[in-house]
Chain A
Amino acid sequence: MKKGQLQIQETAIVIFIVTIIIAISLIVFYRYTVDDIKDDNARYLDEKAKGLTEIISNLPELKVSEMGIEADWCIDEKKAIVFNNGFYDFGQKRIKINGIILYDNLNNLVETRKFSSPVCLLDPVSEKKEMAKLVVEW
């Protein structure tokens, strides 16, 4: 093989290796960015599931109301018992308060996560208040 041809082959190999290294770096960087976006999405869904406790405890279908005035952070036990859990679509979750299931659509999931928030539960008949746990599982 002549010296000129050898030089060209060397250059070709160098360029090929450099190209492969650059391509691998770009793919790794791209995949890292995609994974980062997926993590962001997972964090967002977690935050949203946790935020559900605030939304649930503020629903007019659950909140204590006396003469049209609502009490902060208190859930009406009677309303919780008759709560129509088919009206809302909270996705694949189970939501309960002191054993009362408000929403249950947690099927075929092996691993679940849980978040609970303290709320006040009022029995409108005896007017007795107690601290309860509003639990969201997803």
Chain B
Amino acid sequence: MGKKGQGMQFNWIFVVIAGAVLLSMFAGFAVKYVDLRESRNDAEIGRGLDHIFLSAKSTAQYKPFDIGREFDINFLCDEFVINKEYRQEYDYVVFGDDAEDVDELIIWSREFKHPFRVDNIIYVFDPRKTVAVSENVQGFVEGLPEGIQVVSSSQADIVVNVNSLPYNDLAFVYAAMVSNENNFECGVRLLEDKFKNVKAVYYDKASSMPGCISSYADVKSKLDTLFLDSNVEELVDSNRALSNLGCGVVF
């Protein structure tokens, strides 16, 4: 090979190396940029959901969540994860189940009272699933938002065993319907804590109200023995009695 041939060969090697360096630089940038875009999209979905949850928490309502692109969602105890990457923490009661490649979710909230309002519970449901309850529950179908298919137990993806629920309230039937075991247990625990906190506020309020000492003491003793599975009628009557006596009601 002559000197001219060697020069040409060196030229080609140089061009190939320079091209490879440029190409790998572009490829590296493209990969990083795509990762960044995906993280941003995940954050947008997570924040969009968080925004809907917060507005649903303030007032009981129904909202479909449809963003036109598929994503995975996983519900943990106090956070949900979008596409296994973006984690959004929350400190409110949300019942939901893991879903893959979902592009639409049904979100609704419902007041939970016992006998005073404890919280607005948020439910998140994948509308591709069908549901059924093990036995007839009054108001179950009427309380569901649009887009949820109720079928017979043999055809349903989710069958709620009403007898296995910790409390006899429609709120827990819906909770068991939309959530996984871990999320359900966690949400129920959070709701129990929330109930204790609201009850404590009413107890302290009854203690700070002037006059009508025996009537407020009556309300306080009933609040003391009030649990999520107890009857509320006596407490409601005692509270109403305060109004009849011209004293300020506790709740």
Q: Is the CB of A84 within 8 A of B197?
A: yes
- Note all chain B residues with C-beta closer than 8 A to A41: 43
Q: How far is the CB of B97 from chain A (nearest CB, A)?
A: 25
B205 beta carbon closer than 8 Å to chain A: yes
- Note all chain A residues with C-beta closer than 8 A to B197: 61, 84, 87
Q: How far is the CB of B234 from chain A (nearest CB, A)?
A: 15
Report whether over half of chain B's contact residues are helix, strand or loop; otherwise say mixed: helix
A-B contact count, CB below 8 Å? 97
Q: How far is the CA of A26 from the CA of B25 in the complex (A)?
A: 9
Give the interface residue-count category, chain B.
Answer: 35 or more
- Note all chain A residues with C-beta closer than 8 A to B43: 37, 40-41
- A residues 25-67 near B (Cβ < 8 Å) are 26, 30, 33-34, 37, 40-41, 44, 48, 51, 54-55, 58, 60-61, 63, 65-67
- Note all chain B residues with C-beta closer than 8 A to A63: 117
- Note all chain B residues with C-beta closer than 8 A to A51: 54
- Note all chain A residues with C-beta closer than 8 A to B22: 19, 22
Among A4-12, A92-100, A110-118, A129-137, which stretch is in contact with chain B?
A4-12
- B residues 73-131 near A (Cβ < 8 Å) are 91, 113, 115-119
- Note all chain B residues with C-beta closer than 8 A to A76: 205
Assess A83 versus B201: contact at CB under 8 Å? Given A22-B22, A65-B251, A124-B248. yes
Contact of B115 among A4, A68, A81 (CB under 8 A): A68
Q: Is the CB of A66 within 8 A of B198?
A: no
Among B32-40, B134-142, B147-155, B173-181, which stretch is in contact with chain A?
B32-40
Q: Specify the chain B residue showing the minimal Cβ separation from A15.
A: B18
- Note all chain B residues with C-beta closer than 8 A to A84: 197, 200-201
B157 beta carbon closer than 8 Å to chain A: no
Assess A30 versus B29: contact at CB under 8 Å? Given A78-B209, A82-B208, A125-B209. yes
- Note all chain B residues with C-beta closer than 8 A to A44: 47
- Note all chain B residues with C-beta closer than 8 A to A87: 193, 197
Q: How far is the CA of A59 from the CA of B119 in the complex (A)?
A: 8
Assess A65 versus B21: contact at CB under 8 Å? Given A82-B204, A84-B201, A125-B248. no
B221 beta carbon closer than 8 Å to chain A: no
Assess A19 versus B25: contact at CB under 8 Å? Given A12-B14, A79-B205, A87-B197. yes
A23 beta carbon closer than 8 Å to chain B: yes
- Note all chain A residues with C-beta closer than 8 A to B39: 37
Contact of A82 among B29, B33, B47, B201 (CB under 8 A): B201
Q: Specify the chain A residue showing the minimal Cβ separation from B248.
A: A124
Q: How far is the CA of A66 from the CA of B50 in the complex (A)?
A: 31
Q: How far is the CA of A23 from the CA of B205 in the complex (A)?
A: 66
Q: How far is the CA of A117 from the CA of B222 in the complex (A)?
A: 36
Q: Is the CB of B208 within 8 A of A78?
A: yes
Contact of B54 among A40, A55, A82 (CB under 8 A): A55
Q: How far is the CA of A83 from the CA of B22 in the complex (A)?
A: 62
Q: How far is the CA of A83 from the CA of B7 in the complex (A)?
A: 84
Contact of A26 among B11, B21, B29 (CB under 8 A): B29
Supplied contacts A37-B40, A55-B58, 8 more A-B pairs, CB within 8 Å: A22-B25, A30-B33, A30-B36, A37-B39, A54-B58, A60-B119, A61-B198, A78-B205
Question: What residues make up the interface of A, taking CB atoms closer than 8 Å to B?
Answer: 4-5, 8, 11-12, 15, 19, 22-23, 26, 30, 33-34, 37, 40-41, 44, 48, 51, 54-55, 58, 60-61, 63, 65-68, 70, 76, 78-79, 81-84, 87-89, 124-125, 127
